[in-house]
Structure 1
Amino acid sequence: MNIALESLRPCLDGAVPAVVATASPDGTPNVAYASQVHYVDPEHVALSFQFFSKTRENVLAHPYAQVQVIEPVSFRHFRLKVHYLRTETSGPLFEYMKAQLAGIATRTGMAKVFALRGADVYRVLDIENVDPRLLPAPSPPDALLKLRGTLDHLGACDDLAQLADRALAALARGFGISHALLAMLDESGGALYTLASLGYPASGVGAEVALGEGLIGVAAREAIPVRINHHTGDYTYHAALHVADPASPRIPLPVLANPHSQIAVPLMHGARLVGVLYAESEQNAFFSHADEDALVVYGRHLGALVVQLAALPDDAEPARVAPASTPSGAPLAVRYFAHDHSVFIDNDYLIKGVAGSILWTLLNEHAASGRRDFCNRELRRDPRLPLPDFGDNLETRLILLQRRLAERCPQIALAKTGRGRFRLELARPLLLNAA
């Protein structure tokens, strides 16, 4: 096999349908279109199994087939001789193909017909260029060069807040991505929350996505990148999804109403999931296979940086800051609900969960003692806070709280006074009420 399978990845995005030829045990041929041919690794592809068709019947009886794929733009045809091995009905490969099929189905007007039953895995035995006289398509922009430019723009970061913002801004410079968000895994490991976003009218900071829901949730649960290069009408593959309890307060996820290209990449540190990087575009086929590979590397780099910055020690003493001003004006009514640690200010929802519990603890400490200066170390040890015994995402929760306050209630602020240290600043007096 002189042609490398990985060189055919542009043919395997579903832009042009593939053709599959099989034969029954008595030699009767059958030719049919394949909705999806997916690159698995340098020796294997997977075909979508949607119907109990003649193709399926033939392959189970005689596990050899030929698949013809077409390279978009150049329209070069390649013929793959393949051997059927197995069918996967769950797991990362199945979930990736299920997501991609949703986009292909909508683009072809078959959204109500296509339903993935399994991913049929084949070993590729040989690849033939049907007409070698045709010239290849022009090379796409170098994704490795894009990645290098992105890392150059990212530079060195001193804290997690700076990293979150610069990680997204660097994507705009390196990959031309206009809409993206960074979601972090929460303490329970069952959901993610938005820490930063790029290009949306509302930041959506604090918006949640459950593990396994939509592109972001599937990428997190399976720890795989998921890419769709066509508009999908399947709501389960939109990024904006429901919180676990529909009756609970909710912050809308800041996503495009009709994205035509989407990609979700897990942020990994070794085998540990840290979060998910999600990007989207209103253009079809915006993200190439090479872009996906480069963004996976970027996601692993970001995952390592998040863990590294979170592990840095707190400063021993706070930096010198100007004396706090005395709160004035009408009091703000702050109401706290212990069952989900949600906080409302003047009846408007602000935050819940660990971040809500942190804010309530700080406000009560200030009301009782007048304290304004705090450090992360004491919060980690505070039994009133629902922090897990394992892991440490306290810093990201504080960033989330700072940003929600800046957006929704600037009269209350957390001002950084050093690494792992901050000051509670109040512009108006407070009335605290625990429901």
Structure 2
Amino acid sequence: MTVCGLRALRGAMEGIAASLLSTCDADGRPNVSMISQVHWVDDDHVALSWQFFNKTRANLLATGKACVEIFDPRTHARYRLHLDHVETRTEGPLYEMMKARLAGIASHHGLEGVFRLLGADIFRVVGVEQLTAPVVARQDDRPPLLSAVRSCIDDLARCRDFDDLADALLDGVVRHLRIPHAILLMAEGDGRLFAIGSRGYPSSGVGAEILPGEGVIGVAAREAVPIRIGHLSADYRYGAALGAAARQAGLVAGEPHGVPFPGLGDPHSQIAVPILSAGRVLGVLFCEAREIMRFDHEHEDALMLLAGYLGALATLLGEDEPRPADTSGLPADPPSGLVTVRHFARDDSVFLDGDYLIKGVAGAILWRLLRQNAESGRTDFSTRELRLDRTLRLPAHAENLDARLVLLRRRLDERGACLRIEKTGRGRFRLIAACGIRLKEMGEAATPAG
């Protein structure tokens, strides 16, 4: 028996070709069936998709033994894995990863509604046989991913604040990893995510919202694991249909309002990786492509490395600069015009003259700044005081505060509003109003104008 490392066989576990699963019953009678998915877990384990209760399932429960044949589509090599059953999982991160992959496979074969994951069967791999040698040399037209990640990290290391980090990460994904469509999202305490930047789309989508568990992005954030699919399923599409379903299920209330999600209209590959800090999800990096099977395990590894580095830097750069802010740049021109700013307490959504601007923590921050400016004329603020303000209802760990300020600043800039947020130092910023502001507290959930 020729044994090789499981990690080297991950390319044969992408679900491009179905695998053959062999089992025996307690009397030794064999059974062979097709299986949709063999999922790499670690260097000693794989997971197989449990979709039906059939003879194969009965054999596994009786003996706990199986063999599965896998095929590497790039090299045309075939391998047989000898397996011992360990456990079956019906929830959790691994289950959700396999569920998403299976949904994509089902969509590709026109079997949505037929392929449904009942569980993830975990097996210990006790042996590996190479059945046929590689006959096609593995060729890639992509850059070496390790070198590309190093170039991205070099760019990130030169950043001085989260604003620069967000741009450097997205630019690096496009330039170094050659992935043209990418979105960076920040997480709220209630599980929602908001886009703070993107590349490759006609509109930036800054402020676009993803609901908890929605699509690959919402599942990646909820489970704190990467979610990757190579054939897009209707279960993982974004848009009005999902929003309507969420309102019908009671996840959100009222009519939809907000910024449209900027994703591709016809993607076939998507990957979402969580941005973690001390085990907490700060956000999600999302990439997609029109090509089938565009992202593999190595792309997943590369993006997870970048997301982890971003999470560490975001926490370090979140500390305030000790020196006082420079106030020499205060605007001298008097404001012109009048804008009514409406605030809805239920979701902290903010509207400028009836047009939606932002909601969530970023909306609460803007409302706080405007109220303090109206009461005292104050224009200069710090992230430290925001962290200490309990009325903002920040999560216990507020590493994402800088990201929320970036979101707020970019939304104001994109709207061309007479309000601006200007950085004056690390952890310090200024509210600038080029118009008169009238504040109106609404108290109830927002309803879009028109």
TM-score, scaled relative to structure 1 = 0.93
Equivalent in the alignment of 2:60:
59
Deviation by residue 1:318-347 (Cα, 9 ceiling, x = unmatched): 252153321123x22222222222211111
Residue 423 in structure 1 maps to residue 430 in structure 2:
yes
SS of the residue 1:306 aligns to: helix
Are residues 1:410 and 2:417 paired?
Answer: yes
Name the counterpart of 2:359.
352
Query: What per-residue deviation string (whole Å, max 9, x for no partner) do you get for residues 120-161 of structure 1?
Result: 111212211112373553367532122112223434101111
Tell me the CA shift for residue 294 of structure 1: 1.7
The answer for unaligned runs of 5 or more in structure 2 is: 443-450
Aligned-pair identity in percent equals 45
- Once the two structures are overlaid, the 10-residue window that deviates more, 256-265 or 130-139, is 130-139
Question: 1:286 is paired with a residue of what secondary structure?
Answer: coil
How far apart, CA to CA, are the structure 2 residues paired with 1:279 and 1:367?
42
Per-residue deviation, 1:418: 2.0
Residue 397 of structure 1 aligns with which residue? 404
Aligned pair count? 431
Cα-to-partner distance string for 1:43-82 (whole Å, 9 max, x where unaligned): 1111100001211111111222221111103322111222
Contact preservation (8 Å) 1:366, 1:372: yes
> Equivalent residue of 1:45, what SS?
strand
Q: Which residue of 2 aligns with 1:68?
A: 69
Paired AA for residue 364 in structure 1: R
Q: 2:130 maps to which residue?
A: 129
Between stretches 3-12 and 137-146, larger displacement belongs to 137-146
Q: CA–CA distance in 2 between the matches of 1:315 and 1:400?
A: 25
Match of 1:339 in 2: 346
Give the secondary structure class of the aligned counterpart of 2:206. coil
> Aligned runs of 1:255-404 on 2, under 5 Å?
255-321=263-329, 323-329=331-337, 331-382=338-389, 384-404=391-411
How far, CA to CA, are the matches of 2:141 and 2:46 in structure 1?
A: 23
CA gap of 1:389–1:67, structure 2 versus 1, over 3 A, is: closer
1:88 and 2:89 aligned: yes
Unmatched 5+ residue regions in structure 1? none
CA distance in 2, matches of 1:411, 1:209: 28
Q: Deviations over 1:216-244 (max 9, x none)?
A: 1221122111111222232xx23555474
TM-score, normalised on structure 2? 0.90
CA 1:372–1:49: 2 relative to 1, 3 Å: same
Correspondence for 1:206? 207
Q: State the distance in 2 between where 1:389 and 1:82 align.
A: 44
Are 1:153 and 1:173, in contact at CA under 8 Å, matched by a contact in 2?
A: no
Matches of 2:6 and 2:269, distance apart in 1: 24
1:238 aligned onto 2:246? no
Match in the other structure for 1:227? 228
- For residues 119 and 316 of structure 2, what CA distance do their matches in structure 1 show? 39
- Counterpart mapping for 1:187-202 below 5 A: 188-202=189-203
Q: Give the direction of change, closer, same or farther, for the CA distance of 1:272–1:361 in structure 2 (3 Å limit).
A: closer
3-state SS of paired residue (1:22): strand
Letter aligned with residue 196 of structure 2: L
**CA deviation digits over 1:172-193, x for unaligned, max 9?**
111111111111221x242222
Shift of 1:372: 2.5
Q: Deviations over 1:401-435 (max 9, x none)?
A: 11111112421111222222222222222232222
Partners of 1:121 and 1:164 in 2: how far apart?
Answer: 37
The verdict on how the C-alpha distance between 1:293 and 1:302 changes in structure 2, with shifts beyond 3 A counting, is same
- 2:175 is aligned to 173
Q: Which amino acid aligns with 2:286?
A: Y
Residues 203 and 254 of structure 1 are in contact (CA less than 8 Å); yes or no, is this contact kept in structure 2? yes
Give the secondary structure class of the aligned counterpart of 1:175: coil
Supply the distance in 1 between the matched residues of 2:387 and 2:295 (Cα, whole angstroms): 41
Change (3 A) 1:347 1:17: same
